[in-house]
């Protein structure tokens, strides 16, 4: 793998990940761009003990360009159209988000009164372009391409974990307009948070109170029960959790406990690729339509609870039936109390019937 670092016209970092060592990455960004926005403002909610990022500059971010490839900011640049990627082709690209929720470009932050503490939204947000093919999707990537994406995820996790003030690195993909994507080109994002996220704190808290290894025992119990296992190989198991929140939700665990993506072996990365893409294709096969989903890697925080954490991926969709979506209405949005319309065992059966054999 060849890794090449360059910079965009406004100073943002861009990194090419190539399979070929002779890939030419000398193209430069010739655009004239506005100055980079300052980092968001973090405000503390004393009632929930959570940090909320206030990022007004994100209101102006790109929203569903209508011109397809001709207007896509994530396609390779052409002689007539300059995009976020100066090269005329690429394998995998990572670059700093132009409209970040967190960054190192600090501004001035003032006390807002009340009980809310205010501090800068230190960190970093990156975009990961999985392929230069605008019409593709993660489910269509070759095993070799998925492994290259995983190399990029691992590389960025290690790099971002070293930034002063970063406490957790989160790699994820939003797919589908129903989920809220603003650009349709196959891509994901990476957030380097200046705090440990609420979901991770909750899971690690449960693990610390459990008499044993909670994550490993959940995996072992699901593999033994079998009724909710969707797919498996020698190194990974994909299953619908017994208490799934979402209509179609799959958790994918490596059989060996590791804290984060950089800790995976080459064999484990290779084993993940075909299993994951087969599950994604099963999602699309359920109702014969492109399935909206969120794919989220749960990694150990940078400094806290690493001995308890267990790397795993959570994949879920808000589609519950043809033409029907699961909306987070009163109970879920206001109280955080989920009601699932699909039995996890039935969801697992439906997904198994669509998995490649």
Would you please indicate which residues are annotated as catalytic (active-site) residues? 187
Under a CB-based contact definition with an 8 Å cutoff, are residues 282 and 303 in contact? no
- Structure-block tokens of residue 294: 């969120």
Residues making up the binding site: 72, 75, 134, 185
φ, ψ for residue 251, nearest 5 deg: -105, 135
Burial 283-301 (b: 16+ CB within 10 A, else e): bbbbbeeebbbbbbbbbbb
Residues making up the binding site for Zn(2+): 72, 75, 134, 185
Burial 19-45 (b: 16+ CB within 10 A, else e): eeeeeebeeebeeeeeebbbbbbbbbe
Burial of 6 (0-12, 13-18, 19+ CB in 10 A): middle
Under a CB-based contact definition with an 8 Å cutoff, are residues 38 and 53 in contact? no
Length of the chain: 357
> Residue 251: how many CA atoms within 13 Å on its side-chain side?
21
CA distance 29 to 264: 34
Angstrom distances, CA of residue 124 to CA of 166, 193, 220: 8, 7, 36
Q: Which helix (H) or strand (E) holds 237?
A: strand 236-239
Instruction: Centre a 10 Å sphere on the Cβ of residue 333 and count the other Cβ atoms it contains.
Output: 10
Under a CB-based contact definition with an 8 Å cutoff, are residues 187 and 172 in contact? no
């Amino acid at each position: 793998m060849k890794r090449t670092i360059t910079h965009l016209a406004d100073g943002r970092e861009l990194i090419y990940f190539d399979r070929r060592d002779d890939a030419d990455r000398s193209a430069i960004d010739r655009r004239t761009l506005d100055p980079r926005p300052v980092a968001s403002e973090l405000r503390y909610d004393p009632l929930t003990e959570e940090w909320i990022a206030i990022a007004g500059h994100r209101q102006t971010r790109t929203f569903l360009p209508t011109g397809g490839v001709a207007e896509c900011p994530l396609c390779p640049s052409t002689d007539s159209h300059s995009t976020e990627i100066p090269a005329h082709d690429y394998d995998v690209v990572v670059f700093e988000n132009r409209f970040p929720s967190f960054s190192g470009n600090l501004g001035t932050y003032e006390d807002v009164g009340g009980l809310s503490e205010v501090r800068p939204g230190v960190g970093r947000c990156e975009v990961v372009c999985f392929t230069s093919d605008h019409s593709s999707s993660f489910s269509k990537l070759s095993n070799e391409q998925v492994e290259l994406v995983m190399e990029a995820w691992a590389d960025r996790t290690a790099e971002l974990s070293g930034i002063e003030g970063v406490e957790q690195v989160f790699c994820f993909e939003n797919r589908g307009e129903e989920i809220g994507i603003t650009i349709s080109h196959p891509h994901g994002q990476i957030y380097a948070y200046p705090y440990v996220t609420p979901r991770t704190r909750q899971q690690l808290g449960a693990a610390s109170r459990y008499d044993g290894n909670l994550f490993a025992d959940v995996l072992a119990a699901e593999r033994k029960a079998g009724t909710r296992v969707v797919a498996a190989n020698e190194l990974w198991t994909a299953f619908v959790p017994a208490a799934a929140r979402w209509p179609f939700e799959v958790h994918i665990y490596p059989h060996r406990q590791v804290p984060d993506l950089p800790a995976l072996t080459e064999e484990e990365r290779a084993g993940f690729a075909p299993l994951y893409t087969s599950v994604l294709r099963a999602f699309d096969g359920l109702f014969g339509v492109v399935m909206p989903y969120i794919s989220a890697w749960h990694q150990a925080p940078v400094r806290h609870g690493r001995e308890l954490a267990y790397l795993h991926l959570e994949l879920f969709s808000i589609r519950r039936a043809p033409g029907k979506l699961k909306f987070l209405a009163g109970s879920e949005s206001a109280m955080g109390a989920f009601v699932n319309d699909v039995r996890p065992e039935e969801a697992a059966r439906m997904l198994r019937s669509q998995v490649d054999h």
